[in-house]
Homo-oligomer: A and B are copies of this chain.
Amino acid sequence: MELQEALTILDNTQKKLFAYNAASSALYLDAVTVAPRDTAEGRGMALSVLAGEQHKLLTDPALTEALGVLNEHKGELDLLHARETEELSRSVRQLTRIPAEEYMAYAQLTNEADDVWHRAKEQSDFGLFRPYLEKLVEYNRKFAGYYDPDKAPYDALLNEYERGVDTAYLDGFFAALREKLVPLIHAIGEKPQPDDSFLHRQYPVERQRKFSDYLMEVLALDRAHCGIGETEHPFTLNFTSQDVRITTHYYENDLASSMYSVIHEGGHARYELDVDPQVEYTVLAGGVSMGVHESQSRFYENIIGRSRPFIEAIFPKMQEFFPEQLSGVTAEMFWRAVNRAQPSLIRTEADELTYCLHIMVRYEIEKALIGGTMEVKDVPETWNRLYKEYLGVDVPDDKRGCLQDSHWAGGSFGYFPSYALGSAYGAQMLRNMEQDMDVWGPVGRGDLGGVTGWLAEKVHKFGGLLTPAQVVENACGTFDPMAYTDYLTKKYTELYSL
């Protein structure tokens, strides 16, 4: 095979992968927004066939041959084609270890499991979800063996989400966090808590929708290219860098919930929209890894969105949206309320400080499930025990316990640690950003242009042109978890006058 032919196969394969992904995304988006309740079967069939076609595409001998040719001529390729070859070769290697029938059955399983999980959560009925979770764990243990038989299964899965990260690394990372954060949390426990009752007044959904529009404007999310929908569990989905969707969930008596979902998902969207269009329709399109993605979402949500200058900037506008609910409230009071650090039940609504403890619970459970040292039936009990141990709270039901997150229903085991890593990356990015420019002056005037410009230049624009490790290196330098613990210590010392 000639190089030119190999390049054509490379291009065509990526375009098809894009189309299959777009198709699956559209079916998924429909499923979680407007699809009638009892319609999972047909969608499952469609997704399963599409997964099978994708599998066939990646295991086509012509592609294998083309990748062989491209890898031989690596020195002659431009950066784009070289990285595409690298990433696609990696996907093919991973995938060809999963037999097509298993791959298709798994696609159907995750589709069904997601549907059942929604209902199980609604009814707080783990029993309903349990048989699906058992199959999901079983598949993932098997897949881990396919991915890398030399690694422990959970390490093989972790490596899928954040290359190079393993249990040993995370055990150390989490231990470091625990060492610094637990005393901080204890110290705060002895201080009086700020009043946050005004966050739980009546906030009509229709007003909150308009407020979301405003927040998206502050994040400069172009509505001609970025939509917002409503789902049980907020998420971001990108078709292309020109077509990104975020979702949120409104609670009438909780202003901060949707507000920070919008800013969090808005951070994901900001990343996707800023990726260089030259990687469109290739495997390099979109954010480079889960960890880097979460670094961006949590950067906007916490480092910016929960900062004093940002809140001071947008608070007058907030009072226009909610004049009665926020009457008598100051920006200072609001800032303190949304940074109230207090162990709680729900990860997505946890404060910035205790958040990592929520991740640690999930990490311990995943590690044990995939490691084969724990059975699915014991998940609720273990979950509740660890929440008591780490966070000191009693879990009243599985809806607010082990059924709260969609990740496992979607087949994601090994994803959760990325949230903690992402938070740590973000803190280190802030440190570097502050050395390069005045961060807080403009943010205090509601202008995020400088922040977004810095992140676009250091992180977003590359998409998958650099590896995850290169992007982290580019924006953070050598990774140092202490940037994160320093950031939290400084912030919470000021908040609670420690």
Contacts of A42 in B (CB 8 A): 22, 239-240, 242-243, 280
- Which chain B residues lie closer than 8 Å to A145 at the CB level? none
Cα separation A223 to B38 with both chains bound (whole Å): 9
Report how many residues on chain A are interfacial, defined by Cβ distance under 8 Å. Answer: 41
A15 / chain B contacts, CB cutoff of 8 Å? 45, 49
* Interface 9-residue window, one of A225-233, A250-258, A344-352, A483-491: A225-233
A482 within 8 A of B: no
Determine whether A37 belongs to the interface, using a CB cutoff of 8 Å to chain B: yes
Quick one: copies of this chain in the complex? 2
User: Would B281 and A36 count as touching, CB distance under 8 A?
Assistant: no
Q: Which of the candidate stretches A27-35, A132-140, A429-437 sits at the interface with the other chain?
A: A27-35
Residues of B within 8 A of A26 (CB): 23, 26-27, 29-30
Check B227–A43 contact: CB distance below 8 A: no
Given contacts A27-B26, A49-B16, A281-B45, contact A224 B34 (CB under 8 A): no
For A37, list chain B residues within 8 Å (CB).
Answer: 223-224
Inter-subunit contact B49/A18 (CB<8 Å): yes
Residue of B nearest to A22 (CB): B46
How far is the CB of A140 from the nearest CB of chain B, in Å?
25
In the complex, chain B residues whose CB is within 8 Å of the CB of A53: 16, 19, 53
What is the bound-complex CA distance between A19 and B23, given in angstroms?
9
User: Which residue of chain B is the closest to A49 with respect to CB atoms?
Assistant: B19
Q: Which of B19, B22, B36, B242 contacts A227 (CB 8 A)?
A: B36
Interface positions of A (Cβ within 8 A of B): 15-16, 18-19, 22-24, 26-27, 29-30, 33-39, 41-43, 45-50, 53, 223-227, 229, 239-240, 242-243, 245, 280-281
Query: Could you list 7 examples of A-B contacts with CB < 8 Å?
Result: A22-B46, A26-B27, A34-B227, A36-B223, A36-B243, A39-B224, A42-B280
In the complex, the 4 A-B pairs of residues with the closest C-beta atoms, listed nearest first: A23-B23, A19-B49, A42-B240, A39-B243
